[in-house]
Chain A
């Protein structure tokens, strides 16, 4: 449970960092929250991985939620356009990130099992 809470905080920090990047264009003071957001996100992400979440799952959810929330909040806060084709494209991007990360995790696990089977056969 703790690792999911930490992952949510990680995503929040990262989205905060990205939104500050845009705000910093007009007011450079926002670079402070950019730095805090990104460094905090990476520190927490490594905690999440140490708690035993697979890297593919953590990265996939992190990337997918980050893209969705950043698009949503930059539309709300900065009045950026969010047309129907853009929403569809963002949905495809999120699906693609999740597919790659979860697919890579599945392939790694399969490879490890094969390696163990080989080692077992050799001994």
Chain B
């Protein structure tokens, strides 16, 4: 993966996590949180399209995006909303990191 495609994918992941966390804020508190939701998801999709346009396979892009989104949302939920984060969940995060690294090396061969 080129540096540019990694940057696009990273922004796609952060935009998606930001929008998902804002969605939780919108359902629990101020309705104004719907604004970052409405901005975040389109940015995420635009960045996914740019990542694909850089030539990264869809299977790789989608897998890394989904998994990183799930892992980051779990960690951020712990930090921001005091949601439970157990050793089992930490093991899941470790599995995802290992899987992403493996996919990444597999693409380059």
- With contacts A21-B48, A63-B66, A85-B105 taken as known, whether A80 is within 8 angstroms of B57 at the C-beta atoms is yes
Q: How many A-B residue pairs have CB under 8 A?
A: 153
Give the size range of B's interface with the partner.
35 or more
- What is the CA–CA distance of A74 and B83 in the complex, to the nearest angstrom? 36
Q: Which of B57, B64, B85, B89 contacts A99 (CB 8 A)?
A: B89
Name the residue of chain B whose CB is nearest to the CB of A79: B57
Q: Does B32 contact A (CB under 8 A)?
A: no
Best-buried of A81, A96, A97 by chain B (most CB within 10 Å): A96
Name the residue of chain A whose CB is nearest to the CB of B101: A89
Q: Does A121 contact B (CB under 8 A)?
A: no
Give the size range of A's interface with the partner.
35 or more
Q: Give a binary string over B73-90; 1 marks a CB under 8 Å from any A CB, 0 the rest.
A: 010000000011110110
- With contacts A74-B58, A104-B89, A107-B84 taken as known, whether A90 is within 8 angstroms of B63 at the C-beta atoms is yes
Q: Which of A66, A86, A96, A106 contacts B106 (CB 8 A)?
A: A86
A106 pairs with B86, CB closer than 8 A: yes
- What is the CA–CA distance of A67 and B109 in the complex, to the nearest angstrom? 21
Best-buried of A86, A89, A94 by chain B (most CB within 10 Å): A89
B95 pairs with A95, CB closer than 8 A: yes
Residues in B whose Cβ lies below 8 Å from that of A88: 99, 102, 106
Q: Give a binary string over A95-115; 1 marks a CB under 8 Å from any B CB, 0 the rest.
A: 111111111101110110000
Q: Does A122 contact B (CB under 8 A)?
A: no
B74 pairs with A70, CB closer than 8 A: no
Name the residue of chain A whose CB is nearest to the CB of B98: A92
Residues in B whose Cβ lies below 8 Å from that of A66: 62, 66
B103 pairs with A90, CB closer than 8 A: yes
Interface residues of A, Cβ cutoff 8 Å to B? 18-19, 21-22, 24-25, 34, 59, 63, 66-67, 70-72, 74-75, 78, 80-104, 106-108, 110-111
